[in-house]
Structure 1
């Protein structure tokens, strides 16, 4: 059992001495004995005892009830009344000070022991509750969203500062008022009232989200867009006891969405314009490459045929390796030229096909180009740009026409 420091306020010396003996027999310490209300207040302020045993009728101008009221308004000390008065007037005045007990004289030691323990247990419990309330209040006031709690009858029970700011209502004025009065919602397009989300959350027993185009009509201000949700508050038995509404000003969100929509529209128009221009350019390219291909393929075919004839004659002459090499060079060149013309025509017709994304090995592509050019990037005399291009590149993609 814990040991407490107890102040005795009693104007009868014999009773005060008896109370002191009982307190000490319980293992507690008697912090002091005074006979008047003024003395009790002064000693309590100086000693800060754990508990005060307070008689109601005292010597001096301040009685026990007035002394208790003064102590409780300034000091967090529990008071246990000890009195012989049982009339309704005295009891009513005493209850108004919210004492931690009311024992009738003559005092029985067992009743006093139990009274002290109950008073201290209640005081500790209430201290924990007050600490939790302070913590919850601080948390509620610190969060960035506005919060309104509604009781089962639909009245406001609490608001945090952000909710006061957005609704235009002070918490002291809003508490107890109907939720719809403090939190009127309207539809943006029509201006029609929107059903109470807190009432819907309590009725359905689930979280309710309002439409994103909902506006709040605060007191003394123009309506503005909000983001809002309401959730039911359930008691230990699972029954709905109220609702909590969390909301925030969505004006900036709506402004950004409108701006984004405008930018998307501008981008879409620009893409359409560029697509049309690209389509025209590709049409011109196809026409140009068709003409060029037609003009070049005829002489290219002649070169290819003459090269084949030369190859046959060189083959009849044994030992002429240099002539054979030159003829093969001509044949390879005509083949590459034909491949290039085919590629030009495919490029011109690319607009007719769907595009697909495909990985490209840039390292291998550069190596092939270097081999075709007869370059060796590892050679110390090679230009820096050739060395850089020959190094591996990852994550590179290209777009090609889907075949078929």
Structure 2
């Protein structure tokens, strides 16, 4: 026996006392008995029982269904309805309050016990699920990246606050159309085919996308559902704007540095070749005795000059490559996401 606290709402005093005795016999604690919905609401606010047994037909302006609806709105206390006759109209009204069960009068002790225990267990599981959802929500909002979960129909199932801000809170609460239709700025345009690809192949997809003045690395991963659940796709937008700005700055500085190095190569080449030619002229006129040694040293210097020439040529190739691919390049996301190796063009 659980020893749970139960509150009784019953306008028939004899039946209410019978229920109280039965509950105490089963090991439960009865926190109170009320005859009307109005008094029940005032008392429940103070006592906060684990479960409420609610007669559908009560004395007063509020019946059991009205009272249960108020309790369902204000609290998360499970309610089991008690009724001598369950007409269809009452049952339809009662469904809105999401009750945890129905017990028909006159009730069987074993049936009442089973209904209470099942309701308490269901409530505990729901509370655990709500707590898990809150925990996941906190974790999802702890990261700055915009994250959302799409189903096979590309509808938004869940999203964190960062993604909600990106959508300007314009996404509908109940989706009936693909999520790509909800984005006024076209954020989902590049996702339509990518989501379909991930759902079919199961292979993660990652690409870069520019939107306005910001760059994002977009990642899509398949989430396999449990038995009977459809596959889903996790979409993550990671802001790489700072990285792109730093990368572009390095490219610009690299081009400038190479051009400066090439100028130095040319100056050094001239500074070496001019004296070298003069030395060779002097050797041809005199110093026959040292001519062989001098020519050996000239050959060494000439080799260095050739290496400088080759370095200049290679630097020119790199310079042309960088200018061709990175200077005055249009902001075209398709260029940034291409898998072709541009070094093959050099």
Aligned partner of 1:378 in structure 2 is none
- In the alignment, the residues of structure 2 paired with residue 132 and residue 37 of structure 1 have an alpha-carbon distance, to the nearest angstrom, of 33
Shift in CA distance, 341/5, structure 1 to aligned 2, threshold 3 Å: same
2:151–2:230 Cα contact (<8 Å) kept:
no
Higher relative contact order (CA 8 A, sep 6+): 2
Shift in CA distance, 240/56, structure 1 to aligned 2, threshold 3 Å: closer
Q: Structure 1 stretch 41-50 or stretch 271-280: which is displaced more?
A: 271-280
Aligned partner of 1:350 in structure 2 is 304
Matches within 5 A, 1:89-100: 89-100=89-100
Aligned partner of 1:113 in structure 2 is 113
- In the alignment, the residues of structure 2 paired with residue 34 and residue 166 of structure 1 have an alpha-carbon distance, to the nearest angstrom, of 50
Matched, 1:202 2:192: no
Once the two structures are superposed, residues 306-340 of structure 1 have per-residue CA deviations (whole angstroms, 9 ceiling, x without a partner) of xxxxxxxxxxxxxxxxxxxxxxxxxxxxxxxx999
CA-CA distance at 1:79 after TM superposition: 1.0
Please report the RMSD computed on the Cα atoms of aligned residues, expressed in angstroms: 3.2
CA-CA distance at 1:352 after TM superposition: 3.7
- In the alignment, the residues of structure 1 paired with residue 274 and residue 11 of structure 2 have an alpha-carbon distance, to the nearest angstrom, of 115
Matched, 1:160 2:127: no
Matched, 1:81 2:81: yes
Shift in CA distance, 204/185, structure 1 to aligned 2, threshold 3 Å: farther
Matched, 1:17 2:17: yes
Aligned partner of 2:38 in structure 1 is 38
Matches within 5 A, 1:267-282: 267-282=257-272
Once the two structures are superposed, residues 122-149 of structure 1 have per-residue CA deviations (whole angstroms, 9 ceiling, x without a partner) of 0100000000111112222221111122
1:233–1:240 Cα contact (<8 Å) kept:
no
Stretches of structure 1 lacking an aligned partner (at least 5 in a row): 187-191, 217-221, 302-337, 355-404
2:216–2:237 Cα contact (<8 Å) kept:
yes
CA-CA distance at 1:117 after TM superposition: 0.6
Shift in CA distance, 177/87, structure 1 to aligned 2, threshold 3 Å: same
- In the alignment, the residues of structure 2 paired with residue 17 and residue 248 of structure 1 have an alpha-carbon distance, to the nearest angstrom, of 63
Matches within 5 A, 1:321-336: none
Matches within 5 A, 1:227-238: 227-237=217-227
The alignment's TM-score, normalised by the length of structure 2, stands at 0.77
1:158–1:171 Cα contact (<8 Å) kept:
no
Q: Secondary structure at the match of 1:231?
A: strand
Matches within 5 A, 1:89-238: 89-172=89-172, 175-183=175-183, 184=186, 195-210=192-207, 212=208, 214-216=209-211, 222=212, 224-237=214-227
Aligned partner of 2:312 in structure 1 is none
Matches within 5 A, 1:244-323: 244-287=234-277
Aligned partner of 1:359 in structure 2 is none
Q: Secondary structure at the match of 1:123?
A: helix
Q: Secondary structure at the match of 1:256?
A: helix
Shift in CA distance, 227/182, structure 1 to aligned 2, threshold 3 Å: farther
Once the two structures are superposed, residues 344-400 of structure 1 have per-residue CA deviations (whole angstroms, 9 ceiling, x without a partner) of 87456433459xxxxxxxxxxxxxxxxxxxxxxxxxxxxxxxxxxxxxxxxxxxxxx
Aligned partner of 2:341 in structure 1 is none
Aligned partner of 1:377 in structure 2 is none
1:232–1:240 Cα contact (<8 Å) kept:
no
Once the two structures are superposed, residues 149-198 of structure 1 have per-residue CA deviations (whole angstroms, 9 ceiling, x without a partner) of 21222222233222233344534468444232245359xxxxx9775322
1:198–1:244 Cα contact (<8 Å) kept:
no
- In the alignment, the residues of structure 2 paired with residue 258 and residue 45 of structure 1 have an alpha-carbon distance, to the nearest angstrom, of 62
The alignment's TM-score, normalised by the length of structure 1, stands at 0.67
1:148–1:160 Cα contact (<8 Å) kept:
yes
Shift in CA distance, 185/46, structure 1 to aligned 2, threshold 3 Å: closer
Aligned partner of 1:6 in structure 2 is 6
- In the alignment, the residues of structure 2 paired with residue 114 and residue 348 of structure 1 have an alpha-carbon distance, to the nearest angstrom, of 101
1:156–1:177 Cα contact (<8 Å) kept:
no
